[in-house]
A and B are shown apart, each in its own frame.
Chain A
Amino acid sequence: MADDLLPLLIVALSETVYMVLLSTIMALALGLPLGITLVVTSKGHISEFSGLNNVLGTVVNIFRSFPFIILIVVLLPLSRFLVGTTLGSTAAVVPLAIGSAPFLARIIENSLKEVDKGKIEAALAMGAKSITTIWKVLIPEALPSLVRGITLAVITITGFTATAGAIGAGGLGSLAIRFGYMRYRDDVLFATVIVLVIMVQLVQWGGNFIAHRLESKHHIGM
């Protein structure tokens, strides 16, 4: 093992973790309200509003039909405008967040849709406001499924960061391409793959653990 390997890996891993964390937080900030709105404005739900529902659904679909690598290129000017550069991890967060938000919105929409309408009606029949029903009933009832969905999104975003690495985002993906591929450093390529696999596994385990804890509380004996 070459002695430059470990420092390279540590720097790349920390860049990847930074990108994944920041993109996930920002994607959630966009995707959570979007997902909630997609559900509650759907037919027969808390605040049915089919016009808005159709517009948002179409926007989400348009964004989701872009291959991610194209989306990065398209969003480069926005990165330059917001971050001042198109290179580096922070610049990559802009397309990562915007690219994963619609995906996350759909995942959140699907989780929230699973909540039995009867529970929502029960809350409304007690005189609860729409917003109270969303925060105190809809989201808590969907929580285990939301956690599983967000875990999936984090893993997908990890994959996206590797793609973004191909065009200068830094991180493990970039390390694998610059050293492993272009300089024929098989040891680097191999090590990055191992680190990525471990990272994804840890996220998956963590997500499963939390979801399981929530479920076993709610669904004992079911």
Chain B
Amino acid sequence: MITITGLSKSFQTPYGKVDALKNINLEIKQGDIFGVIGFSGAGKSTLIRCLNRLEEPDSGIIRIGEHEITSLNKSQLREVRKRIGMIFQHFNLFDSKTVFGNVAFPLEVAGLSKRQIKNRVEQLLELVELTDKTNAYPAQLSGGQKQRVGIARALANNPEVLLSDEATSALDPKTTYAILELLRNINRKLNLTIVLITHEMDVLRRICNNVAVIEDGEITEMGPVQELFLNPRTDTTRLFVQSDQDLQLNNYSI
């Protein structure tokens, strides 16, 4: 479904060149929930933003489905982007639009008729259980509700892939689980491929099937999630697994 070959990306900063991604190779299967975990600054966001070219890769090839993302021109890229949903840590909802207006926006962009838009928005709000908030503005919603709007908006044009950059990092644990539950249901119902960035092991354990550990712009470990937990091969992974176990112990002792 998604293949990444030899992906590199660096940034010029006043302090010199930062190699955010170094020769990344990755394969993600159709219908998978694929986690990418790593410490702050490891390159997770850069990686996911390269997938829809919010960030232009320096080199490498990215394929999603039948499209070679890295060789599309601007207007082709816009078309393909309509089929790649994205959700964000800070939701990035439009404050000037109602819940309806937010979810309708990608449908307007895709050129649907008013009637089609209305039907589709109703469907989507039902899916994320926000029908009663149709006419509310984002400022009137809780964090979890905002992210539900974000998810509905991302799913509007029936994407094949959903990109999630720390989508639950601004939420409390209970809301996080509810959102993860929603993502898993959508994944099953729609056979949607989800690429999910996180720095929380708990998120990985709850919904991801496969995972890549990224460190300093390089993938250091990759495979099924259970394997990572059972037999971490690098220090970073061990650190993640260890901190996760500490956390669980803490939770039990409360």
Contacts and interface: CB of A to CB of B under 8 A. Distances in A.
Given A116-B90, A123-B94, A128-B106, 9 more contacts: A119-B93, A122-B93, A122-B153, A124-B54, A126-B82, A141-B94, A219-B95, A221-B139, A222-B139
Interface string A93-104: 000000000000
A122 B163 CA distance: 12
Given A125-B81, A127-B81, A220 B139 contact: yes
Interface residues of B, number: 29
Given A118-B90, A220-B140, A125 B54 contact: yes
Contacts of B153: 122, 126
Interface string B161-185: 0000000000000000000000000
B139 A140 contact: no
Contact of A143 (B92, B96, B139): B96
Contacts of A213: none
Interface in B28-86: 52, 54, 77-82, 84, 86
Nearest to A132: B109
A140 B97 CA distance: 9
A67 B123 CA distance: 59
A26 interface: no
Interface string B140-167: 1000000000000100110000000000
A218 B137 contact: yes
Interface in A116-144: 116, 118-119, 121-129, 132, 136-137, 140-141, 143
Contacts of B88: 118, 122
B105 interface: yes
A74 B205 CA distance: 71
A183 interface: no
Interface of B: 52, 54, 77-82, 84, 86, 88, 90, 92-97, 105-106, 108-110, 137, 139-140, 153, 156-157
Interface residues of A, number: 25
Contact of B81 (A118, A126, A137, A219): A126
Given A132-B109, A218-B137, A220-B140, A125 B94 contact: no
A136 B105 contact: yes
A140 B108 CA distance: 16
Which of A116, A122, A128 counts the most chain B CB atoms within 10 A? A122
Given A125-B52, A126-B81, A116 B92 contact: yes
A141 B96 contact: yes
B86 A127 contact: no
Contact of B105 (A118, A126, A143): A126
A94 B63 CA distance: 56
Contact of B78 (A129, A219, A221, A222): A129
- 5 nearest CB pairs, A to B: A127-B81, A127-B82, A122-B92, A118-B92, A140-B96
A127 B95 contact: no
A128 B109 contact: yes
Interface string A199-222: 000000000000000100111111
A217 B137 contact: yes
Contacts of A136: 105, 108
A140 B94 contact: yes
A119 B96 CA distance: 11
A124 B54 CA distance: 8
